[in-house]
Amino acid sequence: MNAIAAIMVVMDPALRRNAALRRGIELARRSGAVLHLYLFDHDPMIQIYGEDLEEGVRRAAITHFLDQRLQRLNAIAAEVASGGVRVECDVVWAPATHQAIVARAIDIRPELVIKNVDESAPHGLLLRPIDWKLLRLVPADLMLVHGDSGALPRRIVAAVDTCDSATHPAPLNEAVVRGALRIGRYAEAELHLAHVAPYIPAGGLVDSRMQLSYETMVERDVAAFRRFAQGLQVPGDRCHMLSGETATSLKDFSGRIGADLLAIGSVYRSAWDRFMLGTTAEQLLAESGRDILMVKEPEFESALRHHVDLDAWRQATLRYRG
């Protein structure tokens, strides 16, 4: 299992010492990782009216804004470093916050990015747009934590899908378990492996032949899940076969065993695919009250580069630094 060498914490715009910062500090302290504290911010007034200023004046205004914020961030970093944690920090001018976060994650290659959930989503939305975008675009394991979360998780559920090689190929399932084990190792947390069997709502089968086919499919799925768990040497009493709608089943199971972190996997998809496939992660995060560890497939960044100009995003974050 790979160690954690770098952790990136997305700082609260108000620079509050929130749950994400507490968790990043504790995981860095236990793992020996470098803790990267990044504040992604901008002044809307400079952004709007700065276009009318000559470049030198605009740059000076932005640099002044960043320097003021950096002074406050440096004070937090110094406090954290006094506890024996290696810390690096910076403030990034980020009118497009999600793009700047993705670009910085590519630059520093953290094993883990941690951010507080923005729990002020408007009525009808499960998540704020920034969290929704980060779940889908950050090319690193992303941990979204609630404001009242503890410094460390104590019980983790790693959710895998061993029946669908298209949405959850074997490398992704293995990555989910490795990511959960890595957090569990430093948090000294209990790990459980869960899988939700193929589900057809009541009344969804029209004849006995379809019923038999469905039962056969479930039997194969159970066998595949058991083989997967045995291959990773997960104890039988920590392996759980669930049934029902995916998000609801995982939410209910996590509540029963008192889990406080759910690890799930993600492959990169186009915007249309993401729309059609629904919002399992968002539902779990918003409705379960548990934190989410979103683990990305090994080739996630390569797939992302086919659809996004990551070099342009990176250059935008460096424009007012260096």
Q: At 230, is the secondary structure helix, strand, or coil? A: helix
Cα gap 117→94, rounded to integer Å: 18
pLDDT score, position 300? 83
SS3 292: strand
| 16-99-47 Cα angle (round to 5) | 75
pLDDT value of position 145: 93
Amino acid at 40: F
* C-alpha span between 251 and 284 (Å, rounded): 6
Q: Which residue has the tokens 């190792």?
A: 185
* pLDDT tens-digit readout, 87-123: 999 999 999 999 999 999 999 999 999 999 876 655 4
Q: 306 or 204, which is more confident?
A: 306
More confident residue, 211 or 62: 62
Residue 10 sits at φ, ψ, to 5 deg, of -85, 110
Please check whether residue 226 is in contact with residue 142, taking contact to mean a CB–CB distance below 8 angstroms: no
Cβ atoms of 31 and 186 within 8 Å: the answer is: yes
Which of the 8 DSSP states describes residue 50?
G
The radius of gyration computed from the CA coordinates of the chain, to the nearest angstrom, equals 21
Q: What is the pLDDT of residues 213-242, one digit of tens each?
A: 777 777 888 888 888 888 888 888 999 998
